[in-house]
Amino acid sequence: MKIRELVREDIRDLVPYEPHLFSNVVKLDANENPYPFPTEVVQDIFARLNGEVFTRYPDPAGLDLKVKIAEVNSTGPDNVVLGNGSDELIQLILQTFGGPGKRVIIPVPTFSMYNIHGRITGTVPVEVPRDEKFNLNLDELLTEMRHPDTRITYLATPNNPSGNCVPADEIRKLLTEVESLVVADEAYIDFGGETCLPLLEDYPNLIILRSFSKVAIAGLRVGYLIARPEVTRELLKVKQPYNVNTFSQMTALAVLNNWPVFREQIEKIVSERERLKMELGSIPGIRVYPSQANFILFKVPVPAGELHRQLVEEGVLVRWGLGRTHGLPECLRVTVGTRQENDLFLEKIRKILIP
Ligand SMILES: *Cc1c(COP(=O)(O)O)cnc(C)c1O
């Protein structure tokens, strides 16, 4: 018996997500927050830990956290769905509204999970290329979005890996012209760009996707979406009841309750991003793409894979392999770290590129 032949034919060729394991490197590859999680917030969480956090099932509605999320976004708890990272919500939306014979529209290059979850859920991923500045090709995109089998369009804003935003008026235009769902993935919205949240008032087909990973707790896997109750109601039919564990719910709530601490970190990351853009852009041969996120995409004058390998040898890990995954073989992506980490990265890349 060949197990492989028992696997669904449409997903047989998928490859497992590869962990990028390097030791003794400064990690500037995964768009995480470089600062340590504040000890006063850890103490606050630990003070509220009790045996039940471990023995009892989590609150399937995640009500305390949803109420707080609703409060900070001036909406209602019925508008919020919690996910085990926003990755899970990307899949949940496809499970609920996509499926065999349905299409999901993806302007590329962008976050790879839209395509992968499309395939996993049997939805047909339709990729529409962005222009050379990574802006949307609105006409081409609308043609695909208007196809009767289209159910969902994923728009990351700021976009990963390019860092640029989709202007809110473009999203408004798309929402006006189609009768399918538009997901504005705002995973990086805390670092820049304009939220699409106000558009929810006019458009029932909009879903706003958010993540706690980039600002605070990538390790605890918490994301959420905001949509009209007629959308969240359908998603809750499909959502796993206990998808977000109690500890993660508590910690995400503590993050929002201590937001000023994280806002300070965000401000430092944003000002470091601007410095990094300037310094990186002043290295001969490097082209820096505009970014509103906590990372910078840049084009290099030498083979990118080789430069990545040399940087690892010097103790700095950036995101590479963008040729295979995103059609950007000449590019690398660096996450904005602490001032010292960014200085180390700049020192090493100068050492390699400037003879
Ligand atoms: C990192 C990322 C996510 C996933 O975030 P999680 O909440 O950690 O699952 C979603 N969208 C984009 C564009 C991302 O870059």
From the CA of 218, give the closest atom in ligand 1.
Answer: 8
Determine the pLDDT at residue 325. Answer: 87
Question: 85 in ligand 1 pocket by Cβ < 6 Å?
Answer: yes
Let me know: does 299 contact 327? Beta carbons within 8 Å.
no
From the CA of 83, give the closest atom in ligand 1.
Answer: 7
Rounded to the nearest whole angstrom, what is the distance from the C-alpha of residue 201 to the centroid of ligand 1?
25
Q: What is residue 102's DSSP assignment?
A: -
Q: For residues 249 and 53, what is the distance between their CA atoms, to the nearest angstrom? A: 10
Kindly report whether the global pTM for this prediction surpasses the value 0.85: yes
Residue 291 Cα distances to 12, 91, 156, 193, 294, angstroms = 36, 26, 13, 10, 8
Question: 86 in ligand 1 pocket by Cβ < 6 Å?
Answer: yes
Top-confidence residue, 220 or 47: 220
Question: 222 in ligand 1 pocket by Cβ < 6 Å?
Answer: no
User: No. of H helices and E strands in the chain?
Assistant: 14, 12
Question: 158 in ligand 1 pocket by Cβ < 6 Å?
Answer: no
Tokens read off for 90:
């990307």
From the CA of 87, give the closest atom in ligand 1.
Answer: 9
Determine the pLDDT at residue 23. Answer: 87
Question: 187 in ligand 1 pocket by Cβ < 6 Å?
Answer: yes
From the CA of 88, give the closest atom in ligand 1.
Answer: 9
* Per-residue model confidence as pLDDT tens digits over 99-134: 999 999 999 999 999 999 999 999 999 999 999 999
Sequence-ordered list of residues with C-beta below 8 angstroms from that of 38, at least 6 positions apart, any chain: 258, 261
- At 48, the pLDDT band (50, 70, 90 cuts) reads confident
Determine the pLDDT at residue 51. Answer: 86
Q: What is residue 282's DSSP assignment?
A: T
Rounded to the nearest whole angstrom, what is the distance from the C-alpha of residue 113 to the centroid of ligand 1?
9
Q: What is the mean pLDDT of residues 175-196?
A: 97
Q: What is the mean pLDDT of residues 219-236?
A: 98
Question: 156 in ligand 1 pocket by Cβ < 6 Å?
Answer: yes
Let me know: does 125 contact 106? Beta carbons within 8 Å.
yes
C-alpha torsion 87→202→105→129, nearest 10? -100
* Per-residue model confidence as pLDDT tens digits over 13-22: 999 987 778 8
Q: What is the mean pLDDT of residues 154-159?
A: 98
Rounded to the nearest whole angstrom, what is the distance from the C-alpha of residue 214 to the centroid of ligand 1?
8
Is residue 142 over pLDDT 80?
yes
Question: 223 in ligand 1 pocket by Cβ < 6 Å?
Answer: yes
Cβ-based burial of 84 (10 A; exposed 0-12, middle 13-18, buried ≥19):
buried
Determine the pLDDT at residue 352. Answer: 96
